Amino acid sequence: MNMIAPRTGIAEISRMARVAIDLGSPFIGAVLAAGLRQLGRGPHSQAVITHWEGDPASAALAMRFNAALHFLARRGNPPALAALYRHEHDDFDGAIGDALAAEDDLIAGFLRRTPQTNEVGRSGAIVAALMQVRRRFGLPFELLEIGSSCGLNLNLGRYGFDLGGVLAGDRHSPVQVAPDWRGPAPQPAPLEVVSARGVDLNPLSAADPATCERLMAYIFADQPLRLHRLEEALGMARRHPPEIEKGDASEWLARQLAEPQAAGVCRVVMHSMVLQYLPPRDRAAVVAMIHDAGQYATPERPLAWVGFEWTETRSEVRLSLSWFPGGEERRVLATCHPYGNSVDWLG
């Protein structure tokens, strides 16, 4: 049981301002800190934050706030905010205060809407886990992803990877993922995906310009490499649209796991930064159905489970792996930067 009391909305944004600095994004830290100082200029946004129900950390409230401001800056209006993001001045309080006053309803709308970040950088850690599964069973993959958002990580078979000097995927792909790797390199293995499909309560389409702008807004504005990689991944998704269904994660996964599995293919359930948004009952159902399906797995029809998630106390992000048959116990392969920028590999 998690005995840590939830933070208030104000305290969570203040905490994330410090975390952003620790993650190498001092600009975002300054944006969030100024946003709190100026919050009274946006009464609707202030009301959402101060009266937040539930755990604002699990709901990524600070990231919603940051994304709203980044969205406005990318739009170019208010002009002072756009100029701040272009580093043409450093009046954080003035620009953000004016933005709160002018765009209070838009910012409050961002705060109320569940974020759907689709961070491609996390696919590096996921692929490292898949390489371990490939070495164990020697089979290509059928990927099943819950919480797919725009489905960008369903396209991981089309990306290139440098994982501690170990190359995988398509080295000529416009999407290249090369996290800062710490610890031993993973054992190399082919990355072969025969099918990939996912589910989301509100699937996003890379063909929709408004969707792309919203996704770009959730990237930290002072991390241009992530912004560029997301643009390339969205372009890839327009050329190769991921297969995503609209629906409940646990109900969809139950149907997928009940379908007959082809011999000679490893079925993989994967998810990244999703479990925190599921109600406890649904989280428990997902875990139970994976273990139930694992009882019927064979070396010719194996099942693997890869997760990239915060710990319950949000103290670190862990890459975890189970496989069936033979590796049912959940193992932590690495601790990771929340956006996949770095991987501390345990193996």
- Write out the DSSP string of 43-87: HHHHHHHHT--S-TTTTTHHHHHHHHHHHHHHHT-SHHHHHHHTT
Higher-confidence position of 12 and 24:
12
DSSP 153-180: GGGGGGSEEEETTEEEE-TT-S-EE--E
- What 8-state DSSP symbol labels residue 106? H
Residues 6+ apart with CB under 8 A from 275: 283, 286, 307, 309
Residue 65 has which token pair? 């706030």
> So what's the pLDDT on residue 2?
41
pLDDT of residue 264: 98
Buried b (16+ CB within 10 A) or exposed e, 66-100: bbbbbbbbbeeebebbbebbeeeeeebeebbbbbb
* Counts of helices then strands in the chain (DSSP H, E): 12, 12
- Is beta strand 327-336 parallel, antiparallel or unpaired with respect to 160-163? unpaired
- For 337, the token pair is 């930067």
What pLDDT score does 1 carry? 34
The values of phi and psi at residue 186, to 5°, are -70, 155
Q: Cis before residue 302, ω within 30 degrees of 0?
A: no
User: What are 262-314's pLDDT values in tens digits?
Assistant: 999 999 999 999 988 888 899 999 999 999 999 999 999 999 999 999 998 88
pLDDT bucket at 58, cuts 50 / 70 / 90: confident
How big is the chain by its Cα radius of gyration, in Å? 20
pLDDT of 196 above 60: yes
The predicted structure's pLDDT at residue 24: 87
Q: Would you mind telling me the total number of residues written for the chain in this entry?
A: 347
Structure tokens at 336: 């990771």
The answer to pTM > 0.85 is: yes
Burial of 51 (0-12, 13-18, 19+ CB in 10 A): exposed
Residue-wise pLDDT tens digits, 67-94: 999 999 999 999 999 999 999 999 999 9
CA–CA separation, 242 vs 217, rounded Å?
21
- Check residue 346 and give its pLDDT: 94
For residue 122, the surrounding DSSP H or E stretch is helix 122-137
Q: How far apart are CA 133 and CA 306, in angstroms?
A: 10
% the chain with pLDDT above 70: 98
Mean pLDDT of 95-120: 94
